[in-house]
Structure 1
């Protein structure tokens, strides 16, 4: 049985209806633009300042925990808060409310993209691809400043870029993450600052072990089942589950792993991939819902809404299992200094992986002329110095590209 978080506020109920949590997170899913860092800020305003469900210390603890896990960090924060306030049904309600708006919109975009005329498709595609250059470049810069503040971590980031570029996205990312974790644990002298006081977390150690065992069993069992079954839907589920299990850093970092899964197999073309990525930037909610577009537009069966649902569940399922496993054990994990140093190294490698993705496929597929370069630089200016939201920059870039082509 879950033990819910004790409240410092007497007027806050210890357990809430899943419908209440769904409504709160649905509103956040409709209004949370700006990526995972911005989402965390929105959550803090909602649950710490406005509703006072959590104090600053507890919220910081949750965010720190989710930064240590692979998968979408902001969605995991929402899942953890939902678990604290409504148990497992509350976690499901929080996740569904936060992801549903962008999933629905991306499925609609996939349908419209598939049925558009050729000329309109080409113009829209090119604008979204150019916008992706600016968005990924801005992410590399901002993440690099926070995750690579010294020479050691900057070196790890550059090494990860070289490894991924030489070995390719799939094998290179795994090798880069493993080596960065080892280098961080053994060589780094600094580690992530974390609160030292213990905090109550929901769940039991038995439940944590069950969740962790299920996570590992699916991670290794699904590829075997997909190979033996030789059916598209099982291969799709297995592939997206693996992506959700291996992406450290969340957000834009999912781009190269997903590209390596769907494009070489012919499920989605590189043009379709970058078009969907650009569209995902213009929408609120987690960027991991990009999986819904890929599942909807894929060439296998199922596609459309069924394919979108299958891909979305697969890429987020590891987060549910990892949050369920980590919450009861977080106090022990955060006291382990080598683990903090390893994660510091992995976070630096995440920047390098994203930098490699900025070159290929984002830059190589989008910038083919001086006009493309100028539009990408303009988009970067709007993102970084004018601080326009990414969705607005994507729309502006698409409109300018449409006008000049």
Structure 2
């Protein structure tokens, strides 16, 4: 199934869980009394999905755990954006320069690979406004986190810098023109000294009609299949070079107009690596958790809050929320038992009994399981009389059924009691 189709189905399911008349992400998370814009929630959910669409472990997560990761992403993003907007200054000129140096060449290469129409000047590529905003935030992160990383004892070695440089030094845009000449016209190649020379010969003698449309202009010549046959090292190519390749009895001729490296230099690479190493470190986790502890975080939907509470050890709150999910959104017995499990972890045995009593009638086939749950709760409440009464009832139900008797024996072992307990 195509990614867009999967994402559409995924989001439709989520929207059905988010409330009757609300868009997904609307009025879900509050920070210091202010709701986070639903657009941010939706953006982070889409990113989370796209990053994990082939991750079997994530795909198997229960929905509330996926929501937990979404909440963490949204809160982290907002906290960081608040800090950056207050403490870091990036000018419009810096953003435009970054987009021109790195984003536009990258866009141009991608457009060439997709076969899209290319302007002759790569700087004329249209870049969405949101990309300028993303570039601004990225530059702010580079400035802020590289210094913070160093202050936390994180650094980058020369070997790491060199390895990173080598991995991205082929990020080079080469724009130019192409024509195909029959072997009988190969002697014309030596006459090409300028772009105008190339265009004149292309118009008159190229046997590839598609190259004549724009005087041979093809944009990113590295994306042209014939370029793979050029026997010249990428890093030796210069502007104004005439490159040739043989295709059968014909000669493919390229004219190099512009070479635009869009790899990063050492200072930028070091900042980039510091950012990456810090974001993936325990130092970052400790830092962001400390920031979060100083802000008031509220989550208004049980599906979004429950695992957030659970992960913080607030099992009683998680038990309440799981029961709410069970009652309002998902009548699966799994959610009923998740509520019971959370109240058990919290040591709130009276709530365990109440959950069972409120909902046991919906699942008559689980009568034995409910009796065992209540028996354990009675034992933990030191109500031995009720415990033995329920144990006797459970054994009557299980008589002659080894699988049911095993459930009872499992409970007795958990309580360090003999399986011969009357």
* Normalised TM-score (structure 1): 0.20
Which is strand-richer, 1 or 2?
Answer: 2
Task: Choose between structure 1 and 2 for higher RCO, CA contacts under 8 A separated by at least 6 residues.
Answer: 1
* Normalised TM-score (structure 2): 0.20
Which is helix-richer, 1 or 2?
Answer: 1
